[in-house]
């Protein structure tokens, strides 16, 4: 057992010793700001700028772990995905723009959607499809970057205490990943050893899976004993838990009400009901957290630096919202011809606010 510890395991990603300079919450704010910004300014030029910002951020803060190294893969995956959608859209959308080319077509029967594949390929459709696909690529890239820069250990540590038990499940699961991999390897090897090297494919899945599962479950029972013996166990009790229970119900009713109001076209009522719903869910989380009588060991706290970075990063979406409400059309420009995309220097400055985390060096750790 001692010499079966796998060489490269995801758990090494979770070592707390390698502390990133910014708090995980700061990074969440950054990712949200970037995603909202690209939604507000889907202009190809601006979207590309945000994509460059994510690359820069990963360049500066990417952790030397498997997940961080996967960032380019993540972006490539998003790009492939976007390309697929462009092809799909251009091949199936007809009659709204200037034809670029005409290719052979087939018409699908109604049961399979009844649309035409091929036929005229149109310039406006292509432009719109590229612009839309770029937005998806940027959203995926932003979260790819987020995954590359945060310590997941820290993310779990900073979940609200109300979610402690569920966070703990994820923590335990991550700790079990290497041993599950090792067990899988061992059972594959044992299966070959059993027959003296003869490989029998028939029924192999069961012979490989069952020992891993059974050993895992046995280990779960042992771990459960260790946890019980170390004082673990949650039972709902107290006023905070009761408030949380009622607020949860209220929150869901509020969200449901918002949908009902939207169907009826009552926008204001929907906004109010939805807002109340979200507030109640947040109240429930807060009161359940304060009811939990647990103390965190060496929690990571937000620093003044985190606060400054968050404030700087929020400039981008807030500024864009203001520009958008003033009716600037350069924000949502779509490439349809040969003309260059318009851009506004002020918008570029706003977007550059998203690079603030990259200005904070790694050296802080």
Per-residue binding letters, 30-59, with another protein (x by CB under 8 A): -----xx--xx-x-----------------
User: Look-up: residue for tokens 């050893």?
Assistant: 193
Residue placing its CB nearer to another protein in the complex, 293 or 308? 293
Kindly state whether residue 304 participates in binding another protein, applying the rule CB under 8 A: no
- As a whole number of angstroms, the distance between CA 67 and CA 58 comes to 11
- Under the binding rule (CB under 8 A), the answer on residue 277 touching another protein is yes
Window 115-144: residues binding another protein (CB under 8 A): 115-117, 125, 128-129, 132-133, 135-136, 139-140, 143-144
Q: Should residue 364 be labelled a site residue for another protein when binding is judged by CB under 8 A?
A: no
Does the protein bind another protein through residue 322 (CB under 8 A)? no
88 binds another protein, rule: CB under 8 A:
yes
Please give the residues from 155 up to 194 whose contact with another protein meets the rule CB under 8 A.
162-163, 165-166, 168-181, 183-184, 186-187, 189-194
Closest residue by Cα to residue 43 from 354, 277, 348, 349: 348
Alpha carbons within 13 A on the beta-carbon side of 70: 14
If binding is defined by CB under 8 A, does position 252 make contact with another protein? yes
Exactly one of 60, 94, 302, 343 binds another protein (CB under 8 A); that residue is 94
Q: Which of residues 17 and 345 has its CB atom nearest to another protein in the complex?
A: 17
Check binding of 298 to another protein (CB under 8 A).
yes
Among 106, 294, 340, 363, binds another protein (CB under 8 A): 294
Considering the rule CB under 8 A, would residue 76 count as an interface residue with another protein?
A: no
Q: Which residues contact 139 (CB under 8 A, 6 or more apart)?
A: 35, 38, 78
Exactly one of 231, 239, 345, 363 binds another protein (CB under 8 A); that residue is 231
Quick one: 261 or 360, whose CB is closer to another protein? Answer: 261
Choose, by CB under 8 A, the member of 105, 293, 308, 362 that binds another protein: 293
Binds another protein (CB under 8 A): choice among 236, 307, 342, 361: 236
| N- to C-terminal Cα separation, the chain | 35
Q: 9 φ, ψ to 5°?
A: -125, 150
Residues 149 and 64 sit within 8 Å (Cβ to Cβ) = no
Q: How far apart, in Å, are the Cα atoms of 15 and each of 152, 234, 235, 295, 362?
A: 9, 27, 31, 21, 17
CB–CB of 251/278 below 8 Å? yes
Token look-up 């976007």 returns 82
DSSP string, 252-280: HHHHHHHHHHHHTT-HHHHHHHHHHHHHH
* Choices 43-51, 212-220, 302-310, 337-345; region in contact with another protein by CB under 8 A: 212-220
With respect to another protein, which residue has the nearer C-beta, 72 or 308?
Answer: 72
d(CA 26, CA 15) in angstroms, rounded, equals 20
């Amino acid at each position: 057992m001692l010499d079966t510890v796998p060489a490269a395991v995801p758990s090494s990603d979770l070592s707390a010793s390698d502390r990133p300079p910014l708090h995980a919450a700061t990074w969440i704010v950054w990712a949200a700001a970037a995603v909202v910004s690209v939604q507000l300014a889907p202009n190809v030029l601006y979207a590309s700028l945000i994509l460059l910002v994510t690359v820069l951020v990963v360049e500066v803060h990417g952790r030397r772990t498997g997940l961080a190294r996967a960032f380019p893969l993540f972006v490539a995956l998003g790009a492939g995905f976007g390309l697929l959608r462009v092809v799909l859209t251009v091949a199936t959308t007809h009659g709204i723009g200037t034809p670029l080319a005409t290719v052979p077509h087939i018409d699908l029967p109604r049961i399979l959607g009844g649309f035409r594949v091929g036929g005229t390929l149109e310039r406006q459709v292509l432009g719109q499809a590229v612009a839309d696909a770029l937005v998806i690529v940027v959203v995926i890239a932003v979260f790819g970057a987020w995954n590359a820069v945060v310590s997941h250990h820290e993310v779990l540590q900073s979940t609200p205490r109300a979610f402690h038990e569920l966070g703990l499940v994820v923590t335990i699961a991550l700790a079990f990943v290497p041993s599950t991999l090792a067990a899988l390897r061992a059972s594959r090897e044992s299966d070959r050893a059993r027959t003296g090297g003869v490989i029998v494919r028939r029924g192999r899945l069961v012979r490989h899976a069952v020992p891993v599962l059974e050993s895992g479950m046995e280990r779960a029972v042992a771990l459960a004993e260790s946890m019980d013996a170390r004082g673990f166990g949650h039972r709902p009790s107290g006023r905070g838990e009761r408030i949380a229970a009622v607020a949860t119900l209220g929150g869901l009713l509020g969200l449901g009400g918002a949908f009902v109001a939207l169907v009826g076209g009552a926008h204001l009522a929907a906004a109010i009901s939805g807002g109340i719903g979200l507030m109640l869910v947040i109240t429930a989380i807060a009161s359940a957290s304060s009811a939990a009588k647990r103390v965190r060991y060496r929690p990571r706290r937000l620093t003044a630096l985190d606060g400054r970075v968050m404030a700087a990063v929020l400039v981008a979406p807030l500024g864009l919202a203001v520009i958008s409400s003033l009716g600037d059309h350069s924000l949502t420009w779509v490439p349809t011809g040969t003309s260059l995309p318009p851009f506004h220097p002020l918008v570029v400055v706003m977007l550059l606010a998203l690079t603030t985390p990259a200005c904070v060096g790694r050296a802080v750790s």
